[in-house]
């Protein structure tokens, strides 16, 4: 089979990690006789410096003519200073890209590989068996609603951000959570700030309505601060968590420590409800940032990007066996004791970005070829 993939390396370590994600996909193509056609596009500070905008039209057009997008990271410290007259737009283009393609459902798996159980900051008995999916609403809330403005006047400075959600926006993301929960352990946790935020009152009301459509799934409704605490105390209590944009962003970064590192956290941003064997357009990326201090040092952990490529195979291309091959290979490499700096522990073999990518690709290719 043939698939077209737009690669958006972006800034910082983005070019390094997307190269390793593409390398894993090429190995899958060779092993399973698929052809992946890669086309690179510009986004972020790199695009801003070359073309004067963080998300140029040529990049949007590339994405429109692709089956999926593999994204790296955006962000450059020189543009993150207050008061600059010239800077990339909010979110360095990635926020607008999500909105342009209606990528409202962000799936962030939090899985602790068994060989890393002693490599986190938690007691092994607390984190052993952690396997969570955080479903984050991605195109609404504080990140998008207007007005959004910083006011400067002789009387002083003030700012405003608007948190707005429609019934349809909430209903569709909550339904994604229930669909995923129905295919897993049949437990869904809806996270809000009920009775404080009016948007959360609406969120809970609609979540409870959607729950009636899924009698086989056990729903739970909790406040975001309680969820943040329980993720640390009893993380294995959770299966699928669904929440709004800002809460999902924060909670998933917190939850990354349960998996050992941000470098172990993949994600998929989808335009609909994911189905086994389905073919949804999506954008796939690690949840970590551009890490400019690590750029060019061959240090960044590429595993989150490689696992994002596995999610691409599963949700955009319907290639379940191939996705599992990547995931099993990552597990095998970790079991063999190979690590990048962020998940390094005593007695293990430390690899750089390229070396980890090479090892995973070579292990994908081991064994008999599929026909």
Residues 100 and 44 in one domain: yes
Q: Considering the domain boundaries, does residue 6 fall inside one? A: yes
> Of 258, 291, 308, at which residue does a domain stop?
258
Residues 280 and 236 in one domain: no
- Environment class of residue 333 by beta-carbon count within 10 Å: exposed (0-12), middle (13-18) or buried (19+)? buried
Residues 34 and 4 in one domain: yes
> Of 224, 258, 292, at which residue does a domain stop?
258
Residue of 22, 90, 125, 68 whose CA lies nearest to 268: 68
Residue of 284, 325, 291 whose CA lies nearest to 6: 284
pLDDT of 371 reads 36
Q: How far is CA 191 from the centre of its chain?
A: 18
Strand partners, 38: 5
**How many angstroms separate the CA atoms of 71 and 94, rounded?**
9
pLDDT of 103 reads 97
**How many angstroms separate the CA atoms of 117 and 141, rounded?**
35
Q: What is the CATH number of the domain that holds 155?
A: 3.40.718.10
Residues 214 and 308 in one domain: no
Residues 142 and 246 in one domain: yes
Q: Say if strands 240-243 and 131-137 run parallel, antiparallel, or are unpaired.
A: parallel
Residues 93 and 160 in one domain: no
Residues 18 and 61 in one domain: yes
Report the share of the chain in percent with pLDDT over 70. 97
At CB < 8 A and 24+ separation, what contacts does 344-350 make? 344/119, 345/118, 345/119
pLDDT of 276 reads 75
Residues 254 and 281 in one domain: no
pLDDT of 180 reads 97
Q: Considering the domain boundaries, does residue 352 fall inside one? A: yes
> Of 229, 258, 287, at which residue does a domain stop?
258
Round the CA-based radius of gyration of the chain to a whole number and report it: 20
Residues 142 and 245 in one domain: yes
Peptide bond before residue 172 is cis, with ω within 30 degrees of 0:
no
Q: Considering the domain boundaries, does residue 266 fall inside one? A: no
Residues 145 and 251 in one domain: yes
Task: Give the other-Cβ count within 10 Å of 131's Cβ.
Answer: 16
Q: Considering the domain boundaries, does residue 265 fall inside one? A: no
- Cβ atoms 101, 283 nearer than 8 A: yes
Q: Considering the domain boundaries, does residue 178 fall inside one? A: yes
What is the count of structural domains for the chain?
Answer: 2
Residues 28 and 83 in one domain: yes
Q: Which pair of structure tokens corresponds to residue 279?
A: 């073919």
Q: Considering the domain boundaries, does residue 319 fall inside one? A: yes
- Cβ atoms 236, 129 nearer than 8 A: yes
Q: Considering the domain boundaries, does residue 327 fall inside one? A: yes
Q: Considering the domain boundaries, does residue 119 fall inside one? A: no
**Structural domain for 241, as ranges:** 131-258
Catalytic residue set: 143, 193, 225, 249, 253
pTM: 0.94
**pLDDT tens per residue, range 136-167:** 999 999 999 999 999 999 999 999 999 999 99
pLDDT of 85 reads 63
Residue of 322, 324, 340, 330 whose CA lies nearest to 363: 330
Residues 38 and 94 in one domain: yes
List the chain pLDDT tens, one digit each, 371 residues.
Answer: 999 999 999 999 999 999 999 999 999 999 999 999 999 999 999 999 999 999 999 999 999 999 999 999 999 998 888 767 667 776 788 989 999 999 999 999 999 999 999 989 999 999 999 999 999 999 999 999 999 999 999 999 999 999 999 999 999 999 999 999 999 999 999 999 999 999 999 999 999 999 999 999 999 999 999 999 999 999 999 999 999 999 999 999 999 999 999 999 999 999 999 987 778 999 999 999 999 999 999 999 999 999 999 999 999 999 999 999 999 999 999 999 999 999 998 889 999 999 999 999 999 999 644 43
Q: Which pair of structure tokens corresponds to residue 351?
A: 């690899």
pLDDT of 367 reads 62
């Amino acid at each position: 089979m043939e698939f077209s993939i737009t690669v958006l390396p972006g800034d910082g370590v983005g070019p390094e990690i997307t190269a390793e994600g593409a390398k894993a996909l090429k190995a899958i193509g060779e092993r399973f006789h698929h052809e992946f056609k890669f086309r690179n596009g510009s986004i972020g500070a790199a695009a801003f410096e070359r073309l004067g905008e963080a998300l140029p039209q040529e990049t949007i057009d590339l994405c429109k003519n692709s089956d999926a997008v593999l994204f790296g990271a955006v962000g450059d410290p020189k543009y993150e200073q207050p008061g600059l007259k010239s800077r990339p737009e909010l979110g360095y283009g990635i926020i607008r890209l999500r909105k342009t393609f209606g990528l409202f459902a962000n799936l962030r798996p939090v899985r602790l590989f068994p060989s890393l159980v002693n490599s986190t900051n938690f007691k092994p008995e607390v984190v052993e068996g952690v396997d969570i999916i955080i479903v984050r609403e991605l195109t609404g809330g504080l990140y998008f609603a207007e007005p959004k403005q910083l006011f400067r006047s002789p009387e002083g400075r003030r700012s405003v951000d608007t948190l707005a959600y429609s019934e349809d926006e909430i209903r569709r993301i909550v339904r994604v959570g229930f669909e995923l929960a129905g295919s897993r352990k049949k437990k869904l946790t809806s996270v809000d700030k009920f009775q404080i935020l009016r948007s959360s009152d609406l969120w809970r009301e609609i979540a409870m309505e959607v729950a009636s459509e899924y009698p086989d799934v056990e729903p739970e409704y909790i406040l975001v601060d309680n969820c943040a605490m329980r993720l640390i105390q009893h993380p294995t209590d959770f299966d699928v968590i669904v929440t709004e944009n800002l809460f999902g962003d924060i909670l998933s970064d917190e939850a990354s420590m349960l998996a050992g590192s941000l470098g172990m956290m993949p994600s998929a941003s989808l335009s609909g409800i994911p189905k086994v064997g389905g073919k949804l357009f999506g954008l796939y990326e690690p949840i970590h940032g551009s890490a400019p201090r690590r750029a060019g040092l061959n240090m960044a952990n590429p595993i989150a990007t490689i696992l994002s490529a596995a999610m691409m195979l599963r949700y955009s291309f319907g290639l379940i066996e191939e996705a599992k091959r990547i995931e099993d290979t990552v597990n095998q490499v970790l079991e063999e004791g190979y690590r990048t700096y962020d998940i390094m522990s005593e007695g293990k073999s430390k690899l750089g970005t390229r070396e980890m990518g090479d090892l995973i690709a070579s292990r994908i290719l081991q064994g008999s070829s599929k026909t």
